[in-house]
Amino acid sequence: MSQSIQFSTPSRTPHLLHLPNSRFHRPLTSLSFRQFPLKYTSIRASSSPDLGSSSSSQVLHSPNGTGAAKPEERSVVATAVSTDTAAIDVDTVTEAELKENGFRSTRRTKLICTIGPATCGFEQLEALAEGGMNVARLNMCHGTREWHRDVIRSVRKLNEEKGFAVAIMMDTEGSEIHMGDLGGESSAKSEDGEVWTFTVRAFDSSRPARTISVSYDGFAEDVRVGDELLVDGGMVRFEVIEKIGPDVKCLCTDPGLLLPRANLTFWRDGSLVRERNAMLPTISSKDWLDIDFGIAEGVDFIAVSFVKSAEVINHLKSYLAARSCGGDIGVIAKIESIDSLTNLEEIIIASDGAMVARGDLGAQIPLEQVPAAQQRIVKVCRALNKPVIVASQLLESMIEYPTPTRAEVADVSEAVRQRSDALMLSGESAMGQFPDKALTVLRSVSLRIERWWREEKRYESTPLQPIGSGFSDRISEEICNSAAKMANNLGVDAVFVYTKDGHMASLVSRCRPDCPIFAFTTTTSVRRRLNLQWGLIPFRLSFSEDMESNLNKTFSLLKSRGMIKSGDLVIAVSDMLQSIQVMNVP
């Protein structure tokens, strides 16, 4: 028994919604939504170095065969397919997890670890990857480029040899004012009532006692006696008591641990002094050199510190495009200043994702405003379909202790409950004593809250606002919204998404469906970038425009690996044919 429903849209070819069988518990019940007419021509067979196998690459052609077609010019579906069924790339850990727990209960929230002295060795990185690290973050504020290059290469080696898809995020230093190194020491303790000297003088290896160098030459001119100096957003506080040439004497009023290159802000009469920071360029000369380094090393994301407006993001994107890596490197805006909150929407529209950088944000706005700012940033990112990372001090006490505080667990839970895409460890993994344990805590808390969410059937009722500008984009969006809604209503086991550039997978992820999302893409770099997004289990696989063949191929590959089984109910969507199908795995 089959039904078909036809929709007409003004000035466009009809779109068909086929309902060949209304009983979804029958094998291969299918529902498809296609934009006709379409024409696909296979133009070349290329070999994929990763797979060592042949795949066919296809483009859309206009009816007169002169070039790529506009969506409305497409005609007739015809397709040539790759028959390679041997290879599929999937994390060994994901695979083990999928087999052990069944894929329904895999973690949806992604985990990022900042790599530092505690975790830069190959075995330490491997332990993090096995513990669930999806993205390795490198903070260019610390370490040399050679040090970062070694880490990047180790992560790449891990991916190649052990099958992980860990992405690399390079975080720029930015040109805000910060302390210098501590002359080789990993930290220095400042006690209440001590007088410390902050100076623009540089030190070689030996740092005079209670002396800290400052990165910004105009420091002594800009501060005034009576100003409050906050280190790392208030982890340690000083009051400026005297200025002597380039040296600024400060009295410690809130004791604490000074960490190398910690951020410095100064406050006057209860307000943040912002004039100087407003004049500094967002991307410094050193940052541009680091960006060139990141391009050369093939990083997956560049996180830009202290973004003030969309302009700098657009500038960086043009720079990347001019170096032919525009589509390969995602630009993440760090939201950590008053300006970035003021211009939030335009910044997020321009970026490929955002980070709630709570460390510096908490130094710029009152601490009690940070949770509301976090919630707003997460919501705006979700609405605009950009992945969002919640960062800093999630498990700060685990730098020193093996168990988190109750408050930290509650904070992590809240970020998961807000359905942010990713959580990030900073000092906990970079220089803490328990990096693996901290990652385990993130993993287990995420899993628990996500399960609670599913058990409570907390589907969101507020519809997502449309975001696509073109008609074709809107169709993809509607397909993904429908797929997610159907997945929840029908209680399917998974959504399968076949996506070349990752966009369709991100649209499904945006809906936060109740089931996991298996995302198949043809390129390794897209697979790594998808690893930042909520709920996506990314695979690399050569596939074609022939959905039947893709489905059969993925079913047999995943079944042979014990990851799915006959009878599992899945919804499949594809960005090539703009289709939805619902079926039981044969």
Ligand X SMILES: C=C(OP(=O)(O)O)C(=O)O
Ligand Y SMILES: Nc1ncnc2c1ncn2[C@@H]1O[C@H](COP(=O)(O)OP(=O)(O)O)[C@@H](O)[C@H]1O
Chain residues binding ligand Y by CB under 6 A are 114, 116-117, 139, 141-143, 259-262, 426-427, 430-431
Cβ atoms < 10 Å from Cβ of 206: 7
Provide the greatest CA pair distance for the chain: 89
- From ligand X, ligand Y, none, which one binds at residue 142 (CB under 5 to 8 Å depending on kind)? ligand Y
Nearest CA-CA partner of 348 in 320, 318, 307 = 307
Laid out side by side, the sheet with 32-35 consists of 3-7, 15-19, 32-35
Q: Is 170 helix (H, G, I), strand (E, B) or coil?
A: strand
| Residue 392: CB minimum distance to ligand Y, A | 6
Q: Which is nearer to ligand X, 355 or 484 (CB)?
A: 355
| Residue 114: CB minimum distance to ligand Y, A | 5
| Residue 315: CB minimum distance to ligand Y, A | 23
Kindly write down the DSSP assignment for every residue of 318-353, as one continuous string.
HHHHHTT-TTTSEEEEEE-SHHHHHTHHHHHHHSSE
Q: Which is nearer to ligand Y, 125 or 511 (CB)?
A: 125
Q: Is 544 helix (H, G, I), strand (E, B) or coil?
A: coil
| Residue 441: CB minimum distance to ligand Y, A | 17
| Residue 425: CB minimum distance to ligand X, A | 10
Q: Is 270 helix (H, G, I), strand (E, B) or coil?
A: coil
Copy the structure tokens of residue 574: 């594809």
Q: Which is nearer to ligand X, 330 or 359 (CB)?
A: 359
Given a contact cutoff of 8 angstroms between Cβ atoms, the answer to whether 240 and 265 are in contact is: no
- From ligand X, ligand Y, none, which one binds at residue 237 (CB under 5 to 8 Å depending on kind)? none
| Residue 51: CB minimum distance to ligand Y, A | 34
How many residues bind ligand X (CB under 6 A)? The answer is 13
Q: Does 139 engage in binding with ligand X (CB under 6 A)?
A: yes
**Residue from 330, 359, 387, 502 in contact with ligand X (CB under 6 A):** 359
Cβ atoms < 10 Å from Cβ of 491: 13
Nearest CA-CA partner of 234 in 210, 209, 258, 268 = 258
> Which residues inside 374-433 make contact with ligand X, applying CB under 6 A?
391-392, 426
| Residue 111: CB minimum distance to ligand Y, A | 15
Q: Which is nearer to ligand Y, 430 or 445 (CB)?
A: 430
Nearest CA-CA partner of 344 in 382, 318, 291, 317 = 382
Site stretch for ligand X (CB under 6 A), options 195-203, 246-254, 353-361, 404-412? 353-361
Cβ atoms < 10 Å from Cβ of 246: 15
- From ligand X, ligand Y, none, which one binds at residue 336 (CB under 5 to 8 Å depending on kind)? ligand X
Given a contact cutoff of 8 angstroms between Cβ atoms, the answer to whether 400 and 84 are in contact is: no
| Residue 563: CB minimum distance to ligand X, A | 35
Comparing every residue's Cβ against ligand X, the nearest one is 359
SS (H, E, C) 434-492: CHHHHHHHHHHHHHHHHHHHHHCCCCCCCCCCCCCCCHHHHHHHHHHHHHHHHHHHHCC
CB neighbours of 416 closer than 8 A, spacing ≥ 6? 109, 423, 445, 446, 449, 450
| Residue 233: CB minimum distance to ligand Y, A | 9
Q: Which is nearer to ligand Y, 142 or 512 (CB)?
A: 142
Laid out side by side, the sheet with 494-498 consists of 536-540, 517-521, 494-498, 569-574, 579-584
Rg for the chain, CA atoms, rounded: 26
- From ligand Y, ligand X, none, which one binds at residue 431 (CB under 5 to 8 Å depending on kind)? ligand Y
Phi/psi zone of residue 264: left (φ > 0), alpha (ψ -120 to 50 degrees), beta? beta
Q: Does 265 engage in binding with ligand X (CB under 6 A)?
A: no
- From ligand X, ligand Y, none, which one binds at residue 143 (CB under 5 to 8 Å depending on kind)? ligand Y
Q: Which is nearer to ligand Y, 141 or 395 (CB)?
A: 141
Q: Which is nearer to ligand Y, 361 or 517 (CB)?
A: 361
- From ligand X, ligand Y, none, which one binds at residue 305 (CB under 5 to 8 Å depending on kind)? ligand X
Q: How far apart, in whole angstroms, are the C-alpha atoms of residue 449 and residue 455?
A: 10
Q: Does 360 engage in binding with ligand X (CB under 6 A)?
A: yes
Q: Which is nearer to ligand Y, 426 or 488 (CB)?
A: 426
Q: Which is nearer to ligand X, 212 or 357 (CB)?
A: 357
| Residue 332: CB minimum distance to ligand Y, A | 14
Given a contact cutoff of 8 angstroms between Cβ atoms, the answer to whether 233 and 211 are in contact is: no
Strand duo 256-258 + 188-190: pairing? antiparallel
**Residue from 91, 287, 336, 568 in contact with ligand X (CB under 6 A):** 336
Residue 176 phi/psi, 5-degree rounding, is -75, 170
- From ligand X, ligand Y, none, which one binds at residue 261 (CB under 5 to 8 Å depending on kind)? ligand Y
| Residue 123: CB minimum distance to ligand X, A | 25
Q: Which is nearer to ligand Y, 299 or 430 (CB)?
A: 430
Q: Which is nearer to ligand Y, 60 or 425 (CB)?
A: 425
- From ligand X, ligand Y, none, which one binds at residue 357 (CB under 5 to 8 Å depending on kind)? ligand X
The alpha carbon of residue 213 and the mean position of all alpha carbons in its chain are separated, in whole angstroms, by 34
Give the bridge partners for 179, in sequence order. 214
- From ligand X, ligand Y, none, which one binds at residue 358 (CB under 5 to 8 Å depending on kind)? ligand X
Q: Please provide the size of the chain in residues.
A: 586
In angstroms, the Cα distances linking 124 to 115, 145, 155, 436 are: 10, 20, 11, 9
- From ligand Y, ligand X, none, which one binds at residue 391 (CB under 5 to 8 Å depending on kind)? ligand X
Site string for ligand X, 291-330 (x = CB under 6 A): --------------x-------------------------
| Residue 395: CB minimum distance to ligand X, A | 14
| Residue 389: CB minimum distance to ligand X, A | 9
CB neighbours of 253 closer than 8 A, spacing ≥ 6? 192, 228, 237, 238, 239
Site stretch for ligand X (CB under 6 A), options 102-110, 200-208, 352-360, 560-568? 352-360
Q: Which is nearer to ligand X, 287 or 450 (CB)?
A: 287
Residues of this chain that interact with ligand X (CB under 6 A) are 139, 141, 171, 263, 305, 336, 357-360, 391-392, 426
